[in-house]
Structure 1
Amino acid sequence: MSETDNPAVGAPAAGAPTAGALTVGGPTPGGSSAAALEENLWPATARLDRDGVLRVGGVRVDELAAEFGTPAFVLDEADFRARCAAWRRAFSDCDVYYAGKAFLCRAVARWVDEEGLNLDVCTGGELAVARSVGFPAGRLLFHGNNKSVAELRAAVAYGVGRIVVDSFAEIDRLAAVAAEAGVRQRVLVRVTPGVEAHTHSYVSTGQEDQKFGFSLAGGAAAEAVERVLAAGSLELVGLHAHIGSQIFDTAGFGLAAHRMVGLLARVRDTHDLELPELDLGGGLGIAYTSEDAPLEVADVAERLTAVVGKECAAAGLAVPRLGVEPGRAVVGPTTVTLYEVGTVKELPGLRTFVSVDGGMSDNIRTALYDARYTARLVSRAGSAAAHVVTLVGRHCESGDVVAHDVPLPDDVRPGDLVAVPASGAYHRSMASNYNHVTRPPVVAVRDGAARLIVRRETEEDLLRLDIDPADQAGAAVAP
């Protein structure tokens, strides 16, 4: 079946989302003071003061810069919680797992728990964050294409509710770990349904030629089901699929649902077993620029549940409990990155480079995916006409670009603050110490107050892991 004739759940309606509706990209900030902020791009509480200074969570960004320094990630806690609540309402009879890989820290894990969402982790480190705050083990889902024995032992010992198996080796590995622990571990089998998500190749995960899961077309998924069922220490509770990220069209999810329900029917017919769960992953896109048109959460929920119900009815199956995994769609729009301008370099007849004090160490997505962002002056009102510039970072790479073709005032100068919206997903979680820079803090703002939830790294932090041979007992020291 081709994508043109599949029973898809449909494409988004043309045009911008309905004003005031909570979308994956974010609600439109209300009030005339926010009129100059682009729709869907900024956190829900973002406002501009009369002097042109941005407020988030009721706190001015110039005050944040003075207290916490730059660069800094500024996270709107109320917006994050509202998005969690919106997903919980829209998928009220489903399992909603916040995908921690987008951004996870202890405060976020607590918010996710308090707002009633489950949590998806994919490494032992992410699991350690969940464990450190006592996140309910039964509401954890553990992903990963190459989980170590140590990670599996930690997950089983903590009582993780679901482990998504991703290879035949892992099935054997997990079965041995569970048997050793004397438990029967619940698992989902990850399936690659052969669906093209129409996104960047690096974040497209549903097609056959990629590292995740078991091929549906090649028969590996059916064999994985058989192996799990044969393992006495494992309990197969469902199937999992994830077709990619930053997706604006639900047609791919419709095709994935069609093929996954088909596999559920084959499991029933072959093994006389109706699996109770079907997880269709995450990947819904958000607005990074004004050209992006994200989908409304409630609309997505209606379409996905409808197509799964329709497919199950056609196959004579009971409708399984649906699972979804929003990460970027929850945290992405809640955060802005705050930078200070360091230099402005005009190349006559070519372009103008505006350099800031961060770059690819706090946002690798531009270099990695050619991702597009916008930015704006947020520490004062611009007094000159807009001029298209290239916003670049401080690193020793010509590809260290924060945002291409950004309209900033002609009079932008060193010391100005600029902000990049939609910075919550994958920025801090993929941050690096390239050039031995320290990673920025994450500052949560709410109701006029600000607090650190991840502190800024220091040079002492960098050196703490760097072992000087001269400090080692018995080490040879060069003359």
Structure 2
Amino acid sequence: MNNYIFAGCDTVKLAEKYKTPLYVMSEDYIKDRLREIREDFLDKNPKTMAVYASKAFLTKEMARIIKESGIGMDVVSGGELYTAIQVEFPMEKIIFHGNNKTIDELELAIENNVGRIVVDHLEEMDIIEEIAKKHNKKVHILFRISPGIDSHTHKYIQTGQVDSKFGIPLDEKTIKTAMEKVLKLEFTELLGFHFHIGSQISDNGNHIKAIQIMTQLMKKVKDEYGFIVKELNTGGGYGIHYSESEERKPLAYFTDSIIEEIEDRCKEYELERPLVIIEPGRWVVGEAGITIYTIGAIKEIPGIRTYVSIDGGMPDNPRPSLYEAKYEAIVINKAEEELTDVVTVAGKCCESGDILIWDLKVPKVETGDMLAVLSTGAYNYSMSSNYNRIPRPAVVMLSEGKDRLIVKRENYDDILRNDI
């Protein structure tokens, strides 16, 4: 067979059945990653917790899969939280992030008894305390700390540097204000700290540096305020394979060194080892997804470039335009043919920047051929838009060689639904 097989399914037949563009996700792959989290982190290390960073990819079906796995979920908006509520996700396993949560979002979180709210700025404590008092509920929080680490990734997906929109700055005055304030609150209880240094991280060195900084902070707040940190959330950001220069490392590459460093520093500073939390998202779903397109216009500029246009682009995958993300792709109906040509894959939007892949090696392509862009499971569907009034694609989930629709394809009426 000349067709590309993904997760046991013929991708050409999927495209014919569901039309293109089409998001395709492998439940088998996702469950393998969730199993690795359990076996190589949770079962291996006592006092640990893992939550899926749902911003990477979230639908009701994905929330059900995470629920079934037994791990928790982190959410960053009322919409993500509402999705979890709709599938009766255990609220005690929810961690609610966000640098500017609205009052309505915090109301929703506290009314539904989320496990932890990660406080991103000092004034947020006042809002949480007021809502918690109104509902007569105890709310558990973590402080998100910006540890001042510049990670080796694109600047748009760095999150732990000094100049960041995320987190409480790690300076003497701010930490003093935060600790003195939280310890006086009646309905808000601080459990510990959270940090996140960035996304698509391929090396564990900066996680180690951040842990060294955070354990020093743990010692400081114990010595100065008598506060014992019960939880340390180390974030996620573990990288995956997108192109030749990037590889997904096993979870243990990151988590073994994280646990070892925390235990060593806690022993050195005579601290009780806290509950350690991780938040993988992209690592769970990134390579579980592909996006299938149909090739349309082919435009050759002699001696310069050949543009191969597809029936999607920026609206279903904004990552190349946002931060120059690199991808690999396969012409799925000619998967075994020799790669003789080099083309640039262009999206259909009215933007010069709507280019998915520059200089892709392909066999001889024709209008009507189909292209699968690989490793699109994370931050593609979740970041998709209706730019140029283009409907969002359907999402299909594959399991044990069988396909099922989990998100219907939008139509033009869906785009107009809220217009007045």
Quote the Cα distance in structure 2 between the aligned partners of 1:438 and 1:219: 49
Q: Indicate whether 1:417 and 2:343 are aligned.
A: no
Displacement of 1:270: 1.5
Q: Indicate whether 1:123 and 2:77 are aligned.
A: yes
Pairing of 1:398-437 with structure 2 (within 5 A): 398-409=352-363, 411-437=364-390
Quote the Cα distance in structure 2 between the aligned partners of 1:178 and 1:386: 64
CA contact (8 A) 2:74 2:96 kept: yes
* Among candidates 81, 84, 89, match of residue 39 of structure 2: 89
Superposed CA deviations along residues 233-267 of structure 1, whole A, max 9, x for unmatched, are 10111100001001111110001000101111111
Pairing of 1:14-413 with structure 2 (within 5 A): 51-92=1-42, 93=46, 94-217=48-171, 219-381=173-335, 383=337, 385-409=339-363, 411-413=364-366
**Which amino acid letter does the alignment assign opposite residue 459 of structure 1?**
Y
Quote the Cα distance in structure 2 between the aligned partners of 1:67 and 1:110: 25
**Which amino acid letter does the alignment assign opposite residue 443 of structure 1?**
V
Tell me: CA distance 1:382–1:350, structure 2 relative to 1, closer, same or farther (3 Å): farther
Aligned length: 416
- State the Cα RMSD in Å: 1.1
Quote the Cα distance in structure 2 between the aligned partners of 1:240 and 1:190: 5
Instruction: Specify the SS of the correspondent of 2:358.
Output: strand
| More displaced 10-residue stretch of structure 1: 286-295 or 412-421 | 286-295
Quote the Cα distance in structure 2 between the aligned partners of 1:422 and 1:67: 22
Quote the Cα distance in structure 1 between the aligned partners of 2:231 and 2:292: 42
Displacement of 1:57: 2.9
Quote the Cα distance in structure 2 between the aligned partners of 1:364 and 1:79: 24
**Which amino acid letter does the alignment assign opposite residue 401 of structure 2?**
G
Superposed CA deviations along residues 195-249 of structure 1, whole A, max 9, x for unmatched, are 1111111111111111111111354234223222211110111100001001111
Displacement of 1:343: 1.4
Per the alignment, residue 404 of structure 2 pairs with 451
Quote the Cα distance in structure 1 between the aligned partners of 2:338 and 2:205: 44
Quote the Cα distance in structure 2 between the aligned partners of 1:316 and 1:385: 60
Displacement of 1:434: 0.5
Instruction: Specify the SS of the correspondent of 1:379.
Output: helix
Displacement of 1:130: 0.2
Quote the Cα distance in structure 2 between the aligned partners of 1:408 and 1:416: 11
Displacement of 1:383: 4.5
Instruction: Specify the SS of the correspondent of 2:183.
Output: helix
**Which amino acid letter does the alignment assign opposite residue 393 of structure 2?**
P
Quote the Cα distance in structure 1 between the aligned partners of 2:180 and 2:117: 17
TM-score under structure 2 normalisation?
0.97
Superposed CA deviations along residues 419-449 of structure 1, whole A, max 9, x for unmatched, are 1111011000000100000011110011221
Displacement of 1:388: 1.6
**Which amino acid letter does the alignment assign opposite residue 388 of structure 2?**
N
Instruction: Specify the SS of the correspondent of 2:56.
Output: coil
Displacement of 1:382: 5.6
CA contact (8 A) 1:189 1:225 kept: no
Percent identity over paired residues: 41
Quote the Cα distance in structure 1 between the aligned partners of 2:264 and 2:413: 58
Displacement of 1:385: 4.2
Q: Which has the higher helix share?
A: 2
Displacement of 1:380: 2.6
Displacement of 1:290: 1.8
Displacement of 1:381: 4.1
Per the alignment, residue 472 of structure 1 pairs with none
Quote the Cα distance in structure 1 between the aligned partners of 2:171 and 2:40: 32
TM-score under structure 1 normalisation?
0.85
Tell me: CA distance 1:263–1:88, structure 2 relative to 1, closer, same or farther (3 Å): same
Quote the Cα distance in structure 2 between the aligned partners of 1:126 and 1:165: 17
Quote the Cα distance in structure 1 between the aligned partners of 2:41 and 2:184: 33
CA contact (8 A) 2:339 2:361 kept: no
Superposed CA deviations along residues 35-85 of structure 1, whole A, max 9, x for unmatched, are xxxxxxxxxxxxxxxx22112232211111111110111100111011011
**Which amino acid letter does the alignment assign opposite residue 77 of structure 1?**
E
| More displaced 10-residue stretch of structure 1: 170-179 or 382-391 | 382-391
Displacement of 1:384: 5.0
CA contact (8 A) 1:189 1:221 kept: no
Instruction: Specify the SS of the correspondent of 1:101.
Output: helix
Superposed CA deviations along residues 68-110 of structure 1, whole A, max 9, x for unmatched, are 1101111001110110111122221311110000010111111
Quote the Cα distance in structure 1 between the aligned partners of 2:379 and 2:178: 31
Quote the Cα distance in structure 2 between the aligned partners of 1:273 and 1:393: 54
Instruction: Specify the SS of the correspondent of 2:202.
Output: coil
Per the alignment, residue 440 of structure 1 pairs with 393
Superposed CA deviations along residues 315-367 of structure 1, whole A, max 9, x for unmatched, are 11011110110000001010001111011111111111010000000110101
Per the alignment, residue 418 of structure 2 pairs with 465
Structure 2: any 5+ residue segments left out of the alignment? none
Q: Which runs of 4+ in 1 moved over 3 A?
A: 381-385
Instruction: Specify the SS of the correspondent of 1:391.
Output: strand
Displacement of 1:296: 1.5
